[in-house]
Structure 1
Amino acid sequence: MAKNSAKDIEVTAFATHQIITQPNPLRRVLRRVEEKDLDDPVSRAEQALAGLAGEFKDWMTTEVNRLSAAYVAIRHDGFTKDRRDELFRAAHDIKGDAATFGYPAAAGVAESLCRVIEHAPDLERVPAELFTHHINAILAIVHENTKLDSISVSAELSRRLRKVADDYLADVNRDRPEHLEVILAPSIVPAE
């Protein structure tokens, strides 16, 4: 990069101070683009996302199958650290991906399932129906989300499962106040 010469530096003197202004070397490398040639990266990203939209259902089905397989392994062979972690990761991935893929109610149910896995003191003692209802709800939401009336049913199912899970967790953690504060906190999954 070329050094500025003393003649390129502008000094403005005031009674109490001086302002020294150096030339902007980026002006030499800046390229002006006409308005008609402007690139819109947001528009390009939206077009790319629209092109992928047809694959969202397949991706979500893959995630749901992974969740289901993790729970089948647990039902068959019991909880181990690896099986627990796989169930949690599958639910957590659904929680993160569901809204993007067009299944916001599934995100709420998956978050509720994550909370049960994370905050239950003993997963072996969690009623199997609590896991089963969460997983079946996610399956139903993903497979039936195309019908308009099913969207409101999905949202209500998500709210009810969250309430049941929170009530269960509040009860089993009544002697663990450090968990109660987290359990009773509002959902971080965006509302529909």
Structure 2
Amino acid sequence: MAKNSARDIEVTAFATHQVITQPNPLRKVLRRVDDKDMDDPVARAEQALADLSGEFKGWMATEVDRLTAAYAAICNDGFTKASRDELFHAAHDIKGDAATFGYPEAAGIAESLCRVIEHAPDLARVPAELFTHHINAILAIVHENTKLDRISVSAELRRRLRKVADDYLADVNRDRPEHLEVILAPSIVPAE
């Protein structure tokens, strides 16, 4: 980069201070674009998302299949570190993807399932129904998402499952105060 000469530097004197302004070397590489040719990256991203939206149902079905397979492996072989990790990652991926794919209530239920997996002191002692209800709720939401009257039902299901999971976790962690603070914190998944 070329050095500025003294004549390129502008000095403005005031009573109490001076302002020294250097020329902006980026002006040489800046390209002016006519208003009609302006690129809108947000519009491009929204269009790309709209173009992909036809794939969302298939992608969500794949995520749900992964979750159910992980839980089936646990039902057959019990909890191992690998099976626990696979169940957690499958639920976590649904938590992250579901809202984008058009299943926001499934995201909340997947978050609740992640919390159970993460904060239960002994997963083998967690009632199997707690896992089953979470997984079945996600399945139902994904398969019944096209019906508008199901939205309020799925929101209520999400709220109730979160409450049951939180009550369970608060009870089994009553002697572990470091977990109670996290368990009693509000959900990070945005509510619709």
TM-score under structure 2 length normalisation: 0.96
Which region of structure 1 is more displaced relative to structure 2, 62-71 or 18-27? 18-27
Residues 88-127 of structure 1 aligned to structure 2 (within 5 Å): 88-127=88-127
C-alpha RMSD of the superposition: 1.1
Residues 73-152 of structure 1 aligned to structure 2 (within 5 Å): 73-152=73-152
1:129-177 deviation digits (Å, cap 9, x = unpaired): 1101100000010010000011111111111111111111111111212
Cα displacement (A) at 1:13 = 2.9
Structure 2 partner of 1:27: 27
TM-score under structure 1 length normalisation: 0.96
Identity within the alignment, %: 88
Q: Number of paired residues?
A: 192
- Distance (whole Å) between structure 1 residues aligned to residue 96 and residue 38 of structure 2: 33
Structure 2 partner of 1:18: 18
- Change beyond 3 A, Cα 1:15–1:186: closer
Cα displacement (A) at 1:15 = 4.1
The one-letter amino acid paired with 2:152 is S
- Distance (whole Å) between structure 1 residues aligned to residue 53 and residue 71 of structure 2: 28
Which region of structure 1 is more displaced relative to structure 2, 171-180 or 46-55? 171-180
- Distance (whole Å) between structure 1 residues aligned to residue 15 and residue 135 of structure 2: 75
Secondary structure of 2:149's counterpart equals helix
The one-letter amino acid paired with 1:122 is D
The one-letter amino acid paired with 1:184 is L
Secondary structure of 1:19's counterpart equals strand
Unpaired runs of at least 5, structure 2: none
1:2-24 deviation digits (Å, cap 9, x = unpaired): 22222212222334433222111
